Structure 1
């Protein structure tokens, strides 16, 4: 490496600045802004260490730090090239946003992450809702309990038969299959039968539709789930009776648009 513009006490050897690695020696240096070439240079092929201490290191801590410093310096080889920064996160040593992204992805296991097929023709809020539901991030009774918040009532507000979870509300509740049956008949696809919310989000791939028809079906299913959640909130917080006809009508109104 070069040494003409690099500050001597900065992190030019490893990730820790030398001033932090050898704080006692740093206090002894008369010129704390000195460059590497002020302290280290070659003479007749020999590396010369040119220190400028306010006094010679003498205490036990200073001697230990001096040995540590020499060990660090002996591990470095110098060149006559100009100084440059090199980033260890990429093979070419060049820092970039793309390189940082690749580094994060390489170190993270994403095999179990949920990826939602974003539907472009429906409102953004509906896509965000579906994304949160797929990650099981909706505020259901069971989700609250996982976070240490215990509610008096944890049963599904629609059927009062099972605990309220994302999968139960949208696939297992007795209130729900009628909605999917109407949607399947209206779109002329096989009966929509799902065991989980993720099954709903993938149904368009197995519906027999293609192109724009598949995208429309996917959007209608998301709208159906969003409308169901709205009815759930009205029932739970406003004591408003939930009617499947309202959900079906809302889904069809979006479909006609």
Structure 2
């Protein structure tokens, strides 16, 4: 919508306008209009009358204006001989006349310089120009930031692995207990690796004896003297406490290692669940796989093109 209003050279300009009430509401709440010649500002839709829209000043008048006129009437056209009055259709009541007079007075008070072009400024942006970042920050003001956002999204693991970690910490993985809650199966089944406890996120990634062995070996190979996640029985709680014992400069590597280990364990669970014998590995093979994958992630982060540039 910003480009449609500010960049008239776009090849799709002139195509039928698709109205999205939510997008329109966000745009009108964050855009600020300085009217000049009136060629970019819509009389009925935009917030140009002293910081208000025509609907806010005269809601009943706005309601009886045809939608086609609301979406197409520019300020330049509307101000020629008060042509906007012709947009009002239907029988006029005393209240409509009162609101119409209020709107007329407010429009007349707008200070316009017809020798200049309209300007649209974006609230919250330093240069007054729209950006997705500043808009997202504006819409998220007052929200509470989750403590695991930085460990997950700040790591250098691939995006699909970050999404996996996010879902795992939110208990959104499709384990049997979640499928049972959603009515996709009658009862949760046992872990496909150890066949002992219920198949759920905490058990698969931290409590399963197989997973605990993998974690212990990975932490030992990384020279990290700390208990494995199974000691706490919850990946998020262990991750939060464990990364405090890691130097700040090494936390991104540590976070990536945690995601890599959890991701590999999850893939092994799937290999057992779907009887994929070629992908089933021993603990030693799992540790080797995690080390190799982690090194690839780290080389990719450094921008080293494998086989072309030596590290």
Q: Normalization by structure 2: what TM-score?
A: 0.58
Q: How many angstroms apart in 1 are the aligned matches of 2:170 and 2:162?
A: 13
Pair 202,8 (structure 1): closer, same or farther in 2 beyond 3 Å:
closer
Q: Helix, strand or coil: the match of 2:274?
A: helix
- 1:227: which partner in 2? 264
Contact kept? 1:141, 1:151, Cα under 8 Å: no
Contact kept? 2:193, 2:269, Cα under 8 Å: yes
Pair 36,8 (structure 1): closer, same or farther in 2 beyond 3 Å:
farther
* Aligned counterpart in structure 2 of residue 73 of structure 1, from 95, 101, 104: 104
Pair 216,174 (structure 1): closer, same or farther in 2 beyond 3 Å:
same
Q: How many angstroms apart in 1 are the aligned matches of 2:159 and 2:216?
A: 26
* Greater shift in the superposed pair: 190-199 or 86-95: 86-95
1:183 aligns with 2:218: yes
Q: How many angstroms apart in 2 are the aligned matches of 1:8 and 1:188?
A: 65
1:251 aligns with 2:296: no
Q: How many angstroms apart in 2 are the aligned matches of 1:254 and 1:91?
A: 40
Q: How does 1:80-99 map to 2 (within 5 A)?
A: 80-82=112-114, 84-87=118-121, 89-90=123-124, 94-97=128-131, 98-99=133-134
Contact kept? 1:4, 1:36, Cα under 8 Å: no
- 1:44: which partner in 2? none
1:93-127 deviation per Cα after TM superposition (whole angstroms, max 9, x unaligned): 934114422322226x232364115443x555444
- 1:134: which partner in 2? 169
- Unmatched 5+ residue regions in structure 2? 1-33, 297-311
1:206-239 deviation per Cα after TM superposition (whole angstroms, max 9, x unaligned): 4455645x55544333222122111111111116
Q: How does 1:175-214 map to 2 (within 5 A)?
A: 175-194=210-229, 195=232, 196-199=234-237, 201-202=239-240, 205-208=243-246, 211=249
Which has the larger share of helix?
A: 2
Give the alignment's Cα RMSD to 1 decimal: 4.2
- 1:237: which partner in 2? 274
Specify the structure having the higher radius of gyration (Cα): 1
Number of residue pairs matched by the alignment: 238
Q: How many angstroms apart in 1 are the aligned matches of 2:202 and 2:105?
A: 62
Contact kept? 2:191, 2:197, Cα under 8 Å: yes
- Unmatched 5+ residue regions in structure 1? 41-49
1:37-56 deviation per Cα after TM superposition (whole angstroms, max 9, x unaligned): 3245xxxxxxxxx88769x9
Q: How many angstroms apart in 2 are the aligned matches of 1:256 and 1:88?
A: 44
Pair 173,15 (structure 1): closer, same or farther in 2 beyond 3 Å:
farther
- 1:173: which partner in 2? 208
1:132-164 deviation per Cα after TM superposition (whole angstroms, max 9, x unaligned): 323333221233345443354433223344432
